[in-house]
Amino acid sequence: MPESPHYIKSLKSESVVQRVIDCLTDAMVARELKPGDKLPPEPELAAAFGVARTSVREAIKILTYLGVLESRRSEGTFVVSGFQESMIDPMVYGIILNQGEDFESLMELREMTEAGILRLAIRKWSPGKLAYLRERLEQMEQVAREHATEPEAFFQADNDFHNAVAEISQNALADKINRVVRVLTHAVRFQTVEEMIRSGRMEELVDAHRRIYQALEARKEEGLEEIIRNTYFLEVARKQP
């Protein structure tokens, strides 16, 4: 029988599935298993770990769901290469289940990620990218003029603007984390837009985004957190159910 890789260890019965997951994860961290590597077949892993095949199969299913492994029909199971969108989903669910009523913590997380992305964008923008962001701002201004009573239209323009800022930041991981935060704050953001429109404060919404654009254009990094925070209209957001 061929010698087993270093990450193969005999496991006790306690939390077998989790321990299989831990061993495989440790092997990836130690680069004993690298992106693109093929895992040994389930029977071989089960025999080497000293566990049932069902435990190995369940561990592989979990790691596949998390986007760490991928199964290719007729080829086997492989360590994924690069960041997978499916990795985001468990993170979102975990934060949702743990956030409870902690509105302030969520807003602080949102401010931290958005200010960080804006800081990167300030340092990295090119004339072409800045022109594209200007177009998104003008689109928002047009929506405010022509669809002043339609929160859906403004909400989409708002998302387009912030996605453009994230694109300028040229940091894929920061962008993905920011998208997670925006998923988590979707309801409160939409309800805030609705209330601002209902109370006749649409121009304040637009002007808050103009200040983001102006800070980026001027490459001004001072006071970014306050500029970002002023787009949240927290006195309105806190009233939301």
The angle, 0 to 180 degrees and rounded to 10, between the axes of the packed helices 151-169 and 186-198 is: 130
* Total length of the chain: 241
Instruction: State whether residue 156 is helix, strand or coil.
Output: helix
Is the confidence at residue 118, as pLDDT, over 50? yes
Identify residue 63 by its one-letter amino acid code.
Answer: L
Name the pLDDT band for 79 (thresholds 50, 70, 90). very high
Under a CB-based contact definition with an 8 Å cutoff, are residues 192 and 237 in contact?
yes
Is 87-237 in the same CATH topology as 16-82? no
- State in Å, rounded, how far the first CA of the chain is from the last one: 63
Is the confidence at residue 5, as pLDDT, over 70? no
Under a CB-based contact definition with an 8 Å cutoff, are residues 67 and 84 in contact?
yes
Q: Where are the domains of the chain?
A: 16-82, 87-237
Residue-wise pLDDT for 204-230, tens only, equals 999 999 999 999 999 999 999 999 999
Name the pLDDT band for 90 (thresholds 50, 70, 90). low
- Rounded Cα distance between 144 and 192, Å, is 15
Is the confidence at residue 91, as pLDDT, over 80? no
* 108-115: average pLDDT: 92
Residue located via tokens 């992106």: 35
| Angle ∠(228,175,184) on CA atoms, nearest 5 | 70
- Looking at the chain, the whole-number percentage of residues with pLDDT higher than 90 is 51
**What is the architecture, at CATH level 2, of domain 16-82?**
Orthogonal Bundle (1.10)
- Looking at the chain, the whole-number percentage of residues with pLDDT higher than 70 is 85
Q: Model-level pTM?
A: 0.66
Please name the helix (run of DSSP H) or strand (run of DSSP E) that holds residue 79, with its range, or none. Answer: strand 76-79
CA-to-CA separations, 134 to 142, 148, 211, in angstroms, rounded? 12, 20, 12
Instruction: State whether residue 73 is helix, strand or coil.
Output: coil
Is the confidence at residue 2, as pLDDT, over 70? no
- Rounded Cα distance between 149 and 57, Å, is 53
Residue located via tokens 């010698």: 3
* 128-155: average pLDDT: 94
Give me the chain's average pLDDT, please: 86
pLDDT value, residue 13: 46
Phi first, then psi, for residue 28 (nearest 5°) are -70, -40
**In this structure, which topology does domain 87-237 adopt according to CATH?**
Four Helix Bundle (Hemerythrin (Met), subunit A) (1.20.120)
Residues near 203 by beta carbon (within 8 Å), at least 6 away in sequence: 144
